[in-house]
Structure 1
Amino acid sequence: MLITTERPAVPRPALTTTVAKEYVHRAALAEVFLTGWHKMADDHFVVTAQWPRSHSFYASERGFHDPLLLCETVRQTFPLLIHAAYGVPFGHQLSWSHFRYRVNPGALRAGATPADIELHIRCSEIRRQRVVPSSIRMDIEAVRDNALLAVASARSGIHSPTVYQWLRRDRGDDIPRVYGQAPSPTTPVHHGTVGRHRARDVVLTPTPRKACWQLRVDTSHPVLFDHPVDHVPGMLLLEAVRQAGHALAAAPAAETPTFMDVRFHQYVEFDSPCWIDGTDTAPPADCADRGARIDARQNDVPVFTASTGMTDLTGA
């Protein structure tokens, strides 16, 4: 016979979820890193995020999180706040013009549980078209366990469907067609040369010229191409900067890009080769062991320029 007895109340744990994937322009729930946001004051917000202990593309290496997780987290923060805090309708398109970050290597160490991150964000230089922003700058301090993880800043344009179609001419009004006509991916460089474990994750193709590569675009990649787009995504371009930084080293060590400063000049298109040139430079002051400059051109026009600092995490 069953007998009901009184049991002590069990405290209910605080419940955590991710933000809606539509807010961060992602198709896969597994790729949403943001867990919430709240407004602190006018144009001042806190966004919370969680990084997995490992990831299919942004993998933890030698016990450290990948700094490009920070980049993707910032990228997701832009559409979240644009839509949720500033009321920009869905269907508007965002385009980065400048992105910069600097990370504390020691704070990247992976723990026994996922990493909980707070992003303290101040928005400025807001231009409006009627009542919604048309461009914005965000300055970000990323905090982990009450310690500074990274600082970042980014500027983005915000384009209505009508403006975006005008900017993109015959590309933005038929994204499935443009996406579907992207050429097959070119031959990758050896994955170990660019700090990768799998050929499918390589975004550079060798050329006869030293320190020059063709951008390799594989639209079947499930992370870099989470959904159809009409141009090469910015996160793929940041990955090209990282991989070129690795490839410039004669013998890549346990290095990771702890600094990037990238200026985007043009959209990178699918239908013509994009050439990536790398040059060794002095490392950024006090934040890296080795520096590199990366220049990208398509159809003889600069499409982005970047500087990066690579840090050996062996002693971090």
Structure 2
Amino acid sequence: MKNFKKQSLGRISLSILLFSTMFSLHAQNQVIPLWNKIPDEIKSVDYKEKETIKDGIVQSTSQVSIPTLSIFIPKETKPNQTAVIICPGGGYSHLAFEKEGTKVAEWFNSIGIAAFVLKYRMPTDLTMKNKNVGPLQDAQEAIRYVRQNATKWNIDPSKIGILGFSAGGHLASTASTHFDDKVYESTYKVSARPDFSLLIYPVISMENNITHKGSQTNLLGNNPSEELINSFSNEKKVTSQTPPTFLVHATDDTAVIPENSINYYLALKKNGVTTELHLYEKGGHGFGLGVKDTSKFWTKDCIEWLKANGYN
């Protein structure tokens, strides 16, 4: 009987330990739905999210219709109170969720910065009334959500930035230039303006001679009007209120040509906005945190820029 009690107590203790461990891990990487009610939603039974999973980790995902935030909070007792919302790329057709999302969040945590990976909706007429603004609605709501709940994670509400890779860079630059656009009714009274932007080999323009055609078609449709192209060519929307921006591109990028970053940089400079542009000789497109050649070290340059501007 005593042995039975000991074994039972042992099992209970082990269960409590496992639950505590799971709760601790969950607290470090919680995934939450972005919306209680998705704005302008159209229900479509034929449009279901498709994940590519390797070794239990989501590598990429497509046909996203239910946006989420994956929350990564630094484990240090004294984080620097900065937060970054991460927008993975994928041409507005899929999201490179690990390479340009969770891995990047873990890197930010390693330097004391809270990170929130945004799984934003893919623009399509099947699930939204206006696909042009669907991703922007998600980005604005993510910024507002983090700012509204900043004290919960020991975040300074004036140190919330946005980062985007490739088409995610277009979304991040859209959030940085269209933050006053009222594209939905928010329950939050806080600003949707990011405090800074980190744009990595970003699509910036929707102009035919410079844009990434796949991103343009997916976001704006096959034959967008000149007005629509101008509205989402973010180099044309820069003002003195656009957030300070750090830009990275490779000269040999043929998928999203470096003129996207160059023109945005020139617009920021013209408007007196704090900005820094790194044009690396080699690196191509889609190098994530850095793979080879000179682009491998962009993260070091980013850390120095964050320090210089009081964000790290």
Place the TM-score, normalised by the shorter chain, in its bin: under 0.3
TM-score by length of 2: 0.27
Which of the pair is proportionally richer in helix?
2
Which of the pair is proportionally richer in strand?
1
TM-score by length of 1: 0.27
